[in-house]
Amino acid sequence: MTQEPLVLVVDDFQDNREMYAEFLAFSGFRVIQAANGKEALDQAFANRPDIIIMDLSLPVMDGWEATRRLKADQRTNAIPVVALTGHAMQGHSKGAIEAGCDSFVAKPCLPDQLVAEIRKMLCTPSKLAKAEGSNARR
C-alpha cells in the first residue's frame, strides 16, 4: 500500500499554515509544518517530505537560505521546493529559482491552486524519479 505524499508547509503565520495544512489534508496529503527556515530544515532532514511549500519571508532563517541549504544537502536536494510568497515582483521569482526553488506561487493563492501546483510538481517525470529515489532511502 502506497502512502499519500508528505507535504512540509513552511509559513511564519500560523493561520496560513493551518489553512493550507487543513486543505492539503482534506485533499489527501499527509502534512507537517514549520514556522521558520530553521524548523523547515529540521523537519525536512527528519521526515524527508515529498515536497516542501516554502514561504520566503521567514524569521530566524529566511526561505531563500533554507532552500539553498536544502538543495546543498544530499539528503534533501531532490525534494521539490515550491516558493509561496507575497513578494510577487518579477525579481523575487527569479531569486527564488536561483536559490533552488523548483516552482513559484504568489500569495494570496487559493488552496486549490496550491494543490494543483503540488500535484503538477509531484507528477513531473524528473521529480517523480527523484522522489522515488528519496522514498527508497526512508
Average pLDDT per consecutive 10 residues, the chain (138 residues; last block may be shorter): 88 93 95 97 98 92 93 96 74 66 83 91 58 40
Return the pLDDT at 97: 66
pTM, to two decimals = 0.84
Q: What is the CATH number of domain 6-128?
A: 3.40.50.2300
> Which pLDDT does position 1 carry in this prediction?
56
pLDDT at 132: 41
**pLDDT at residue number 56:** 87
Question: Under a CB-based contact definition with an 8 Å cutoff, are residues 67 and 100 in contact?
Answer: yes
DSSP secondary structure string, 20-58? Answer: HHHHHHHTT-EEEEESSHHHHHHHHHHH--SEEEE-SS-
pLDDT of residue 26: 95
pLDDT at 128: 37
* Domain ranges across the chain: 6-128
Q: Is 18 exposed, middle or buried (0-12, 13-18, 19+ CB in 10 A)?
A: middle
